[in-house]
Amino acid sequence: MPGDIRPDWWGKASAGAILGFGLALSLVGLYAYLGPGGINAPGGRYSLMRYLEAFVWIAVFGFCFLFRSGRSAWVWLGAANLIAFAALFACRFFFFA
Amino acid sequence: MIRADIVKLYKTVHTWTGITCGFALFIAFYAGALTMFQEPIARWASPPAVGVAAVPLDDAPRLLELVATAHPEAREEGIKLHLRGHENEPARVTWEEDEPHEAGQPHGHVHWWATLNPDGALLAKQEEPSELAEFINEIHMRVGIPSPWGSYFMGVVSLLYGVALIAGVIILLPSLVKDFLELRVGTNLKRMWLDAHNVVGITGLPFHIVMAITATALSLSGELWSVQESVVFGGKQEILDKRDNEQYQPPRPTGEAAAMMAPSQLLQKLKVQVPDFEPRFMIFKNIGDKAASVRVAGSERGYVGDYHLGGVMLSAVTGELLKDSTRPSRQDPDRRASETFYGLHAGQYEGATITWAYFFLGFSGAWLFYSGNLLWIETRRKNARKGGGVEQSRSTRLLGSATVGVCLGCVAGISLTIVAAKWLHGRVGDLNHWHELIYYVVFLGSVAWAFAWGAARSAVHLLWLCAAATMAIPLTTLAALLFPALGMWAYGSAATIGVDVVAFIGALCFAWMAVATQRRLTTGPADSIWSVRKADAATPPREPAAVPAE
């Protein structure tokens, strides 16, 4: 059983709002490159992405209070952001440049 | 099982997101419920005009030709041919022209309509249509805050609303199986309100999840677009967008003259080529040219989605299908998914059943935010009481006043501005400006009134105001019918009579709430926010005797 959860309202909320948005943008951005048809796929992909981003953003923000502390929220979500953005920029500037 | 400390944590999350966003969400949901009947309201508010029927569809070719000759700008921009004959369609054809404007200012539009005189001559007139229904939609989207700040604000509110939903479900999960759908009506009034809040919230959850996601995306649409373009697409998004817009672009005029096919024939051609399409109106471009085209907007049976984006383009000369990839069944999967999200937000599927369902779900959402605020206030009182009656703390008093003023001010403001559509027509210069003025004066006045008189007293006053303002909607129609000298109008279509009937029922509901609140004011516990009696430590606190219904 893990230890007590600290409230850390501002630490967790800021992580959820900022890093949640980063994760939303990078993960949905990966869909733009790796989804069917790739980045040059014609049609309404860019339009759909806005709804998907809102979904991921809300989910991360909503569940970020489950982290044990504000610090661990920033560390874990920060790491997830780094990986996702690294993958996104690898796609944008390397694989599909 | 969810640990108790997590539930406690999320209770705080739910409370604070709810309290901070509740007001804005009430307005968005109340006005949003009304926008489900945006078209009937527009028809109710539109003054009598020559109407679509004045020119039979068979005479439309001549009308189109005359307009195209006399108004070259309309010929280029597109002439709209109406098919349904609704009251908000002033004549068989309408079009927009650019307003003369100064450099650096945004383009304005002026609206024209045209019909044929009995002698067959063209009669064209510039007249601004009622924008009442669009204004209610504005309030729904931006809660009355000017663009773009209202959109930013509602984007953040919608995001926090999503967080509040997640938190609310986490709080409820441990007791869900035990308490679900259990409405404990009885002496413990707070328990009953909490049960009701939970039942309404959990049964409407799919609707609320859809609304939180789509409202966040739609409010921040432009901002998300810019960020996507610079971070993800790196300039490619604009190219994709241009390619996408190709589907809506008419062919360039050739300069070569050709005979046009009659609209009735074009519709027949359309029916043969796209059997499941239900046309709403037709927009003709470059009439008289060999490359003249007509875009037919409409919906396709069996698909969720926006009526305005979907459509087909035919050649106005031959009736051949020119562009066909924007109607629902031909959209690419991503566009279809995106349009489905939009359709789920706007309730554009399955016809009247869903329209009514969204209408009531919208009201139930507004009620959720109202009851949430009330529960917070009552919980605070309980915590502070500790056995004896207490004075309401400053924060609960202020929150109570704000809840009453904002919620009821929005209701009364919308009702009165609807009424003004008939009374002020022809009596003021710019009626659309008056609609805004009336709404803001009533809204801000109600908020001021609520703070001046306190939640309890002002709730009764403002509920009677809501009842009277809403009752004035059918009474206005009745007055128009009885006293034609007033210069107002009453239509016989089911849609416009429906507006009056729904307003009548709504007014009765507000009156009932006013009576119930009045009763609680005088008989409920003195330390409640709903009491006008001074809290007295000597009086043992009781549970309220009557339901506080706003």
> Which of B163, B211, B331, B342 to mutate against chain A (most A CBs within 10 Å)?
B163
What is residue B519's predicted lDDT score, i.e. its pLDDT?
87
What is residue A2's predicted lDDT score, i.e. its pLDDT?
52
Helix (H) or strand (E) holding B318: none
B221 Cα to chain A: minimum distance (Å): 7
In this complex, do A59 and B231 lie within 8 Å of one another by their Cβ atoms?
no
The DSSP code for B288 is T
In this complex, do B217 and A92 lie within 8 Å of one another by their Cβ atoms?
no
Phi-psi region for residue A85, left (φ > 0), alpha (ψ -120 to 50) or beta?
alpha
Long-range contacts, B198-207 (Cβ 8 Å, 24+):
B198/B172, B200/B364, B200/B367, B200/B368, B200/B371, B201/B168, B201/B172, B201/B368, B202/B169, B202/B172, B202/B176, B204/B361, B204/B364, B204/B365, B204/B368, B205/B165, B205/B169, B207/B358, B207/B361, B207/B365
What does the alpha-carbon distance between residue B426 and residue B438 come to, in Å, rounded to a whole number?
16
B190 Cα to chain A: minimum distance (Å): 27
User: Which two structure tokens, joined as six digits, stand for A83?
Assistant: 């990986």
Q: Which of A36, A50, A58 sits opposite B163 (nearest CB)?
A: A58
Identify the closest residue of chain A to B9 by CA–CA distance.
Answer: A7
In this complex, do A46 and B240 lie within 8 Å of one another by their Cβ atoms?
yes
What is residue B169's predicted lDDT score, i.e. its pLDDT?
93
What is residue A73's predicted lDDT score, i.e. its pLDDT?
96
Residues 6+ positions from B58 with CB-CB distance below 8 Å? B262, B264
Task: Please say whether the beta carbons of B143 and B161 come within 8 A.
Answer: no
DSSP alpha helices (H): ranges in B180-262? 189-203, 205-219, 221-227, 236-245
Per-residue DSSP letters for B446-498? HHHHHHHHHHHHHHHHHHHHHHHHHHHHHHHHHHHHH-GGG------SHHHHH
The pLDDT profile of chain B, 550 residues, written as one tens digit per residue, is 678 889 999 999 999 999 889 999 999 999 999 999 999 999 999 999 999 989 999 999 999 999 999 999 999 889 999 999 899 999 999 999 888 777 666 778 899 999 999 888 999 999 999 999 999 999 999 999 988 899 999 999 999 999 999 999 999 888 777 766 666 766 677 788 888 888 888 889 999 999 999 999 999 999 999 999 999 998 888 888 888 888 888 899 998 999 999 999 999 999 999 988 888 899 999 999 999 999 998 888 888 876 666 789 999 999 999 988 888 888 888 988 998 999 999 998 888 899 999 999 999 999 998 888 878 877 777 666 655 555 667 788 888 899 899 999 999 999 999 999 999 998 998 899 999 999 999 999 999 999 999 888 999 999 999 999 999 999 999 999 999 999 899 999 999 999 999 999 999 999 999 998 888 888 776 667 767 665 444 444 444 434 333 3
Neighboring chain B residues of A7 at a CB cutoff of 8 Å: 9, 12
Contact of A61 with chain B, judged by CB distance below 8 Å, is answered with yes
> Which of A50, A61, A66 to mutate against chain B (most B CBs within 10 Å)?
A50
In this complex, do B333 and A63 lie within 8 Å of one another by their Cβ atoms?
no
Q: Which of B159, B228, B339 sits opposite A46 (nearest CB)?
A: B228
Task: Please say whether the beta carbons of B355 and B37 come within 8 A.
Answer: yes
The DSSP code for B116 is E
What does the alpha-carbon distance between residue B321 and residue B274 come to, in Å, rounded to a whole number?
9
What is residue A6's predicted lDDT score, i.e. its pLDDT?
82
State CA B62 to chain mean position distance. 38
Neighboring chain A residues of B237 at a CB cutoff of 8 Å: 46
B355 Cα to chain A: minimum distance (Å): 22
In this complex, do A53 and B217 lie within 8 Å of one another by their Cβ atoms?
yes
Question: What burial class does residue B498 get, using C-beta atoms within 10 Å of its C-beta: 0-12 exposed, 13-18 middle, 19+ buried?
Answer: middle
Place of tokens 């739609």: B218
Residues of B with CB under 8 A from a CB of A: 5-6, 9-10, 12-13, 158-159, 162-163, 165-167, 212-214, 216-217, 220-221, 224-225, 227-228, 231-234, 236-237, 240-241, 243-244, 331-339, 341
Place of tokens 């509040």: B164
In this complex, do A58 and B225 lie within 8 Å of one another by their Cβ atoms?
no
User: Which two structure tokens, joined as six digits, stand for A72?
Assistant: 């661990």
What is residue B537's predicted lDDT score, i.e. its pLDDT?
41
The DSSP code for B228 is I
User: Which two structure tokens, joined as six digits, stand for B502?
Assistant: 């729904």
Neighboring chain B residues of A5 at a CB cutoff of 8 Å: 5-6, 9
Neighboring chain A residues of B17 at a CB cutoff of 8 Å: none
Contact of A18 with chain B, judged by CB distance below 8 Å, is answered with no
For the entire predicted model, the pTM comes to 0.91
In this complex, do A47 and B228 lie within 8 Å of one another by their Cβ atoms?
no
Q: What angle do CA B529, B370, B511 make, to 5 degrees?
A: 80
Neighboring chain B residues of A49 at a CB cutoff of 8 Å: 224, 228, 232
Amino acid at B513: M
In this complex, do B240 and A59 lie within 8 Å of one another by their Cβ atoms?
no
Q: Which of B5, B12, B227 sits opposite A25 (nearest CB)?
A: B227
Rounded mean pLDDT for each run of 10 residues along chain A, 97 residues in total = 75 96 97 89 87 97 94 96 96 89
In this complex, do A41 and B237 lie within 8 Å of one another by their Cβ atoms?
no
B114 Cα to chain A: minimum distance (Å): 36
In this complex, do B217 and A29 lie within 8 Å of one another by their Cβ atoms?
no
User: Which two structure tokens, joined as six digits, stand for B182?
Assistant: 């259990």
Neighboring chain B residues of A51 at a CB cutoff of 8 Å: 213-214, 217, 337-338, 341
Helix (H) or strand (E) holding B431: helix B431-482
Phi-psi region for residue B528, left (φ > 0), alpha (ψ -120 to 50) or beta?
beta
Closest CA to B212 of A66, A81, A26, A62: A62
Identify the closest residue of chain A to B2 by CA–CA distance.
Answer: A66
Q: CA–CA distance from B308 to each of B68, B159, B466 (Å)? A: 24, 27, 34
